[in-house]
Each structure stands twice: as structure tokens, then as C-alpha cells.
Amino acid sequence: MTGFLALLSRDLRLVWRRPGDITVVLAFFVVATVLFPLGIGPQTNILARIAAGVLWCTALFASMLSLDRLFAADHEDGSLDLLLLAPWPLELAALAKCAAHWIVTGLPLAVLAPLLGVTFGLPPDALIALAATLLVGTPTLSLIGGLAAALTLGARRGGALLALLALPLCVPTLIFGAAAIETLMTGEDLWAHIAILAALALVALATTPWAMAAALRQAGE
């Protein structure tokens, strides 16, 4: 546990030292999302209808942006060898890296999304639902993205390959995340969707650390 917390706090500190990296990601999220109301025009009924899908897609792209550095930076400066040689499970190390990624990407995205939802004319209860679904859904994106980052480590054009690998795997989360907002309009149960998002996150939590560790060991060879 000491090692897990040490790695988590080290990665958070590294982000803190270079706030530009994460600011770019959040700025991309804001700019890409705001382009939709500008492009479509002030037809609030259409905007409110597509808001959830647009916000979820742009959140997905934004969280992919920062992922290619997740393990690559450690690979380049030799720190990955130290993680591979730490006397505790590499699975936990992979999990700590994903947790750090979620704290600096998924969490701010979930906080920003309701503010952007206002530009789409979403009603207040939909804004809360949007934040809640992103909060539960983005850990899955960090975990799946982390797996893709570990698999593409050392590959040329790793970034594009990473997105190609991760985006299809994120489709279930995207579908249930975006559909959850619609339930407010159709009167379905919002909690059912959130429960499914949580289940997807737990499946990712239970499977990806092992796959990430295997991929990282392979990259170390």
C-alpha cells in the first residue's frame, strides 16, 4: 500500500509541476464541446437532445489525449524499470497510474461538463445526471485507456494506435452514459443506467490491471 500511495502521489506531483499538460486537455474539452452549439445554431430543442452524446464523446476524446504519456514518460527516463523492480505487485502500480490519470482528467471533466451543459440548454436535473454519469463512467475510460497505453508502449504512432484500441472498448460506457441523460426525458430509471456504468467500471477494475501488468512486463523485455 505504501508503494501504491507513493506512486499515486508522485504522479499527481508531476502533473502539479507541469499544469500545462492537463490544462490543454481540459481546454480541448471546452473548445470542442462549445463548437457544437456554435455550429448548429441556437435551436435549443436540438441542442438539448444531442447534449449528452456530444459531452460524452468529447470527454472520451479528451481523456484519450493525455493517455499516450501515461507509461511512455516512465519508459523513456528509465522509471518503468524501477516500477517493474518494485517489491510489490505491478498490477497495483498500473492501477495507481490509472487512478492518478482519473484524478487529473476524469474528475475535472465531470466537474466541467455541467457548466458546458448550460450552453446546450440542459435543464438542471439533467446537468446533475450528466456529472453523476461522468463521475461513474470516467474511471472505466482511464482503465481501458491505460491498458491501450501499456499495449502501445514503444510503438511508433502510439497515440493514434492507442485511440484505435481504446475507443471501441469504451463504446458500452459511452452508450449507457449518454442514454442515462435521456432517461430524464422519457421517465425511465436513471439509477439503472448509473448501476450499469458502475458495473462496467468494476469489470474494468477487475480485469485491466492484470492485462496492463503483462503488457508492461513485455515492454520491459
Partner 1 sequence: MAPPFLDVAELACRRGGRPVFDRLSFALGAGELLALTGRNGSGKTTLLRALALLVRPEAGAILWQGANVQDDPESWRGRLAWLGHLDGLKGDLTARENLLGAERLRGRPAADDRLDLALIAFDLHALVHRPVRTLSAGQRRRTALARVMLTQAPLWLLDEPLTALDATAQQAFRTVLQQHLAHGGLAIAATHADLGVPGARTVELSAPQKALP
For 64, 68, 113, 145, 170, the CA distances from 166, given in Å and listed in that order, are: 8, 11, 21, 6, 6
221 touches partner 1 (CB under 8 A):
yes
Which lies closer to partner 1 via its Cβ, residue 17 or residue 156?
Answer: 17
Nearest to 68 by CA among 109, 31, 25, 28: 25
Instruction: Decide whether 97 or 193 has the Cβ nearer to partner 1.
Output: 97
3-class state of residue 41 by DSSP: coil
Q: Which of 13, 44, 185, 188 binds partner 1 (CB under 8 A)?
A: 13
Residue 93 C-beta: closest distance to partner 1, Å = 8
- Of the pair 84, 107, the CB lying nearest partner 1 is at 84
Sites for partner 1 among residues 187-216 (CB under 8 A): none
Nearest to 37 by CA among 118, 103, 98: 118
Dihedral (CA of 118, 123, 128, 133) sign: negative
Q: Which is nearer to partner 1, 3 or 172 (CB)?
A: 3
Binding site for partner 1 (CB under 8 A): 2-3, 5-7, 10, 13-14, 17-18, 76-79, 81-89, 220-221
